[in-house]
Structure 1
Amino acid sequence: MNDQLTNSQTGEAGKPESNWERQLLEKLATDSLREQRLRRRWGIFFKFVFLTVIIFGFYYFSDYATGEMENLGHHTALIEIDGNIESEGAGSAHSVIPALNRAFADPGSVAVVVRINSPGGSPVQAGMINDEIVRLRKEYQDKKLYVVVDEICASGGYYIAVAADKIYVNKASVVGSIGVLMDGFGFTGIMEKLGVERRLMTAGENKGFMDPFSPQTEKQKAFSQAMLNEIHQQFIDTVRAGRGKRLKETPEMFSGLFWIGSKAVEMGLADDFGSVDSVARDVVKVENIVDYTQKEGLPERVLKKFGASIGSSAASTILKENVPSMR
Structure 2
Amino acid sequence: MRIPDRLASRLPGRLGERAERPVVSLVRLHGVISSTAAPVPRSVINAAAVDKVLERAFAPGRLAAVALLINSPGGSPTQSALVADRIRSLAAEHDVPVLAFCEDVAASGGYWLACAGDEIYAHPTSLVGSIGVISQGFGLDGLIERVGVQRRLYTAGASKSRLDPFLPEKDEDVVWLRGLQDQLHEMFQQWVTERRGDRLKPDADLFTGEVWTGSRAVQLGLVDGLGTPRGVLGGRFPDAELVTVEGRKPLLARLGLGSSAARTLSPVDGLLGLAQAAEVRASWARYGL
Match of 1:124 among 78, 96, 100: 78
Equivalent-residue separation in structure 1 for 2:241 and 2:143 (angstroms): 60
Picking from 16, 29, 32, the partner of 1:81 is: 29
Which of residues 95, 102, 120 is equivalent to 2:49? 95
Cα offset for 1:146? 0.2
Matched, 1:272 2:225: yes
The correspondence of residues 273-288 of structure 1 with structure 2, limited to 5 A, is 273-288=226-241
Give the aligned CA root-mean-square deviation in angstroms.
2.8
Residue 314 (1) aligns with residue 272 (2):
yes
Structure 2, unmatched stretches of 5+, are: 4-18
Q: Which residue of 1 aligns with 2:10?
A: none
CA distance 1:287–1:94, change in 2 (3 Å): same
2:140 is the alignment partner of 1:187 = yes
Specify whether residues 244 and 175 from structure 1 end up closer, same or farther in structure 2 by C-alpha distance, changes over 3 A only: same
Q: Report the counterpart of residue 253 of structure 1 in structure 2.
A: 206
Q: Is the 8 A contact 1:120 1:153 kept in 2?
A: yes
Over the matched positions of the two proteins, sequence identity in percent amounts to 35
| Secondary structure class of the residue paired with 1:105 | coil
Report which of the two structures shows the higher radius of gyration computed on alpha carbons: 1
1:297 — aligned with what? 250
Change (3 A) 1:111 1:117: same
Q: String of CA shifts for 1:98-144, please: whole Å, max 9, x gaps.
A: 22222223212211101001111111111001111222222222x11
Measured in 1, the distance between the counterparts of 2:150 and 2:216 equals 52
Kindly indicate whether the alpha-carbon contact (under 8 Å) linking 1:167 and 1:271 is maintained by their aligned counterparts in 2: yes
| Deviation of 1:240 (Å) | 0.5
* Partner of residue 92, structure 2: 138
Match of 1:164, SS state, is coil
Which residue type is aligned with residue 207 of structure 1?
A: K
Residues 191-270 of structure 1 aligned to structure 2 (within 5 Å): 191-192=144-145, 196-250=149-203, 252-270=205-223
| Matched AA of 1:169 | A
Task: Supply the distance in 2 between the matched residues of 1:309 and 1:94 (Cα, whole angstroms).
Answer: 23
State how far apart, in whole Å, the 1-side matches of 2:172 and 2:87 are.
38
Alignment partners' CA distance in 2, 1:300 and 1:219: 48
Size of the aligned set, in residue pairs, is 253
1:198·1:214 contact (CA, 8 Å) conserved in 2? no
Aligned equivalents of 2:239 and 2:176: distance in 1?
Answer: 51
State the alpha-carbon separation in 2 of the partners of residues 304 and 167 from structure 1. Answer: 38
CA contact (8 A) 2:130 2:207 kept: yes
Residue 177 of structure 1 corresponds to which residue in structure 2?
130
Shift of residue 96, structure 1, vs aligned partner = 2.0
Alignment-mate amino acid for residue 81 of structure 1: L
Instruction: Report if aligned partners of 1:76, 1:286 keep a CA contact under 8 Å in 2.
Output: no
Cα distance per residue 1:62-121 (max 9 Å; x no partner)? xxxxxxx44454221110011111224451212223222222232122111010011111
Unaligned runs of 5+ in 1: 1-68
Query: What is the alpha-carbon distance in structure 1 between the residues aligned to residue 166 and residue 273 of structure 2?
Result: 19
Which of 61, 64, 69 pairs up with 1:107? Answer: 61
